[in-house]
Amino acid sequence: MAQEYVLRPFATSTRLRIDYERELNPQQREAVMSPPGPALVIAGAGSGKTRTLTYRVAFLLEQGVPPDRILLLTFTNKAAREMLQRVETLLGRLPGSLWGGTFHAIGHRILRLHAERLGYPANFGILDREDARHLLNTCLRDKVPEARRKHFPRAEVLAEIFSLAANLRLSLAEVVGRYFDYFEPLLNTITEVHRLYEERKRAAQVMDFDDLLVRWLELLEQHPDAREYWQRRFLFLLVDEYQDTNVVQSAVVDLLAARHHNLMVVGDDAQSIYGWRGADARNILEFPNRYPEARVFKIETNYRSTPEILQVANAVIRANRHQFPKVLVAVRPAGPRPAVVACLDDSQQAAFVAQRVMELREAGTSLDRIAVLYRAHHHALELQMELTRRQIPFTITSGLRFLEQAHMKDVTAHLRLVVNPLDSVAFQRVVQMLPGIGERGAARLWESFRTQWLARQTGLQAGAVPAAGASVSACLRACQREVGRKAAAAWEELARLVTKLEDPELRRRPGQMIRTVLQEGYEEYLKLNYPNYRSRREDLEQLALYADGFDDVYDFLAQTALLTNVEAEDEQPGGWKPDRLRLSTVHQAKGLEFDVVFVIMLCEGMFPSARALEEEEGEEEERRLFYVAVTRARNELYLTYPLLHRARSADAAPVQTPSRFLREIPAELVETWELRPPVW
């Protein structure tokens, strides 16, 4: 057995520049100044996680640990920059040899040094998303006959399948069976395309984004000398947001730490909400099992929220069985109790939020310090309409308002074309969804269609019910001879769909028009073109329900057009941002905080999501998502739900059940607000 001889870092007598006693609370200080060895830091929401990790790096440097022996892994470049800047501020300098960055950035840096081991040159290229899509398209053209390509998933969907397989360490069969079961009949061909894609990346000496992790793990697993070098090189490892790691990232971390076990991971199991994109909560939950000697530190002092909000957060998360129990404790003074607001329906919920937002603004809270959070973007459709009517400026975190997403514009373009055959934008959007028709072809077909329409129509106003022979479908069929062979069958299908949409009875039922577009081909288009087909279909189902409230398609299109004056979130020149209410899904709000938070649509089947509840451990992740929503609030929290909601079908009951998460909150922790109509 080899005998270990410890090399102590040589340094002149160390004098700590940082007053840890003054700068950190006792829980933070205990974690920051802990001795070497594995450590799990459970940092609750608003407890100063970044501060703890930053001071840990500074403490190690002050103890004489050489900077190049420290590795700090984060999930975003912004987080890495922020931490390294804080270290520089604390120490007065930032050692250039300190290793810090995202998993992908560090993987790239290490792979450059060992690329030949994996069959790549040191100057291998990296494919960005667009490059990868282009390469996948060439593989599709070579592996899938043109006649079958119309019914085969597009490059963007294949990229998602391949990425999940890489990051979850699953076979393509497992990924397709679990997430894309509607493609199971195509599995053999998908596998062939994947094989060709991997061969062509190798031949071109390039890696895609996922390869930076997968090849890094391959290097550590299959090349013992390289593994030993990096194990010896990194004496201390620190990992941020550990609850968001996937199986590949966790395996990389464990291999790097296998020699010294000087691994500190920081995160919050109660905020593990990205299971749908590969994050595995078991990595943090099972850390003490993988490292039995690990110290577990809990940082429960919360600097963000009032005690009343934290009491609700603590009560909410208590129901989860798989967790590290913790109790967030506030340092801020008392505030109002969170309010639970039952609304008659979606419209009253929207009216309440809009009115209360304006009251808060008049009381001194700027709009950009107020957020409305929800489980899915379609939950805010009614609210967006209400805010627009009241001219309350708002922004949407995703950067795309609900009705401006591609699938929404695709479907409404069909309706617009039937209503106004001279709408060239709608026409060209619709026909470009057909195989083999690009921008040039669409423009050429538009001129032909327009000529046909103008020749056939007999003085009718645009938008009137077409006379016989002057219908949109008749004009489409007249243009069919100019359509290429690739699109011929699809063009005929489009003409049949438009014939149905032109029915005068159907035009008085815009919701049913949307469902007809879905049933007559667009649902298949969704499956083939979007990896998140199910959520996009759900959006369209909700749009159809909303459209059911209109007596004809004209009013529906006019009302939805009102939302076009809502600007997407965009930083203005000079860094100035306008004062606007923030609308966001909870997922996109993680890491943010607001003075006032509204969480809307807290009904069973919506929050928690009915689809998520079908998954194993789905309820616990949904509860963590609600916990994240609650802990975004600093001063005031409003939890709302409608008693009535437009049903998905005529057979479904519109009466809603309040979310189980609301029922789990003790009544004494909240105020119940009863809404009543105005008295004139």
Nearest in space to 415 (alpha carbons), one of 525, 528, 561, 317: 561
Residue labelled with tokens 């464990």: 254
Total structural domains within the chain? 4
Torsional class of 423: left (φ above 0), alpha (ψ -120 to 50), beta (otherwise): beta
Which one is predicted more confidently, 16 or 180?
A: 180
Distance CA 643, CA 344 (A): 5
Q: Are residues 157 and 234 in the same domain?
A: no
Most confident option among 183-187, 447-451, 676-680: 183-187
d(CA 617, CA 634): 29
Distance CA 274, CA 246 (A): 10
The residue from 510, 529, 564 where one domain ends is 564
The verdict on 423 and 529 lying in the same domain is yes
pLDDT at 569 over 70: no
- Co-location of 395 and 408 in the same domain: no
Identify whether residues 109 and 216 lie together within a single domain: yes
259-280 burial: b if 16+ Cβ within 10 Å, else e: ebebbbbbbbbbbbbbbeebbb
Same domain, yes or no: 221 and 78: yes
* Other CB atoms within 10 Å distance of the CB of residue 622: 22
pLDDT tens digits, 102-125:
999 999 999 999 999 999 988 888
For position 82, what pLDDT does the model report? 85
Shared-domain flag, residues 546 and 412: yes
Q: Which positions are catalytic?
A: 49-50, 240-241, 271, 632
56 and 138 fall within a common domain? no
* Structure tokens given for 246: 């996937």
Helices (H) and strands (E) in the chain, counts: 31, 17
Query: Residue 129: is its pLDDT beyond 50?
Result: yes
Q: For residue 573, tell me if it sits in a domain.
A: no
3-class secondary-structure state, position 600: coil
| Domain CATH for 586 | 3.40.50.300
Residues of the binding site for ATP: 43-50
Give a yes or no: residue 569 inside a domain: no
Does residue 6 carry a pLDDT above 70? Answer: no
Of 204, 222, 242, the last residue of a domain is 204
Range with top average pLDDT, 76-85, 286-295, 573-582: 286-295
For the chain, percent of residues with pLDDT exceeding 70: 91
Q: Residue 161 domain-assigned?
A: yes
pLDDT in tens, 403-436: 778 898 899 999 989 988 888 888 989 999 998 8
**pLDDT bucket at 574, cuts 50 / 70 / 90:** very low
Question: Residue 15 domain-assigned?
Answer: no
CATH of residue 425: 1.10.486.10
Same domain? For 545 and 646 the reply is no
Residue 587 backbone phi and psi in degrees, to 5: -55, -40
SS3 173: helix
Q: What is the pLDDT confidence band of residue 555, given thresholds at 50, 70 and 90?
A: confident
Which residue ranges are tagged as binding site? 43-50
Q: pLDDT band for 260, please (50, 70, 90 cuts).
A: very high
**Which 3 state secondary structure label does DSSP give 486?**
helix
Candidate from 33-47, 59-73, 644-658 with smallest mean pLDDT: 644-658
Q: Are residues 357 and 500 in the same domain?
A: no
The model's pTM: 0.84
Q: Is residue 494 part of a domain?
A: yes
108/134 same-domain check: no
Same domain, 155 and 262: no
H or E element, residue 473: helix 472-478
Among the candidates 564, 591, 612, a domain finishes at 564
For 74-93, how does the pLDDT look when each residue is reduced to its tens digit (9 = 90+)?
Answer: 988 888 888 888 888 887 77
pLDDT-based confidence at 649, cuts 50/70/90? Answer: very low
* 36: containing domain: 20-115+212-297
Summarised one tens digit per residue, pLDDT across range 153-166 is 999 999 999 999 99
CB within 8 A of 127, min separation 6: which ones? 135, 201, 206, 207, 208, 209
- The rounded percent of the chain whose pLDDT value lies above 90 is 58
Same domain, 545 and 427: yes
| Peptide linkage before 608 cis (omega within 30 of 0) | yes
Model confidence pLDDT, tens digit, residues 486-528 = 888 899 999 999 999 999 999 889 999 999 999 999 999 999 9
pLDDT single digits (tens) 226-242: 999 999 999 999 999 99
Q: Report if residue 609 sits inside a domain.
A: yes
Q: Would residue 462 count as lying in a domain?
A: no
Classify residue 241 as left (phi > 0), alpha (psi -120 to 50) or beta. left
Reply yes or no on whether the pLDDT at 96 is more than 80. no
Is the residue at 432 inside a domain?
yes
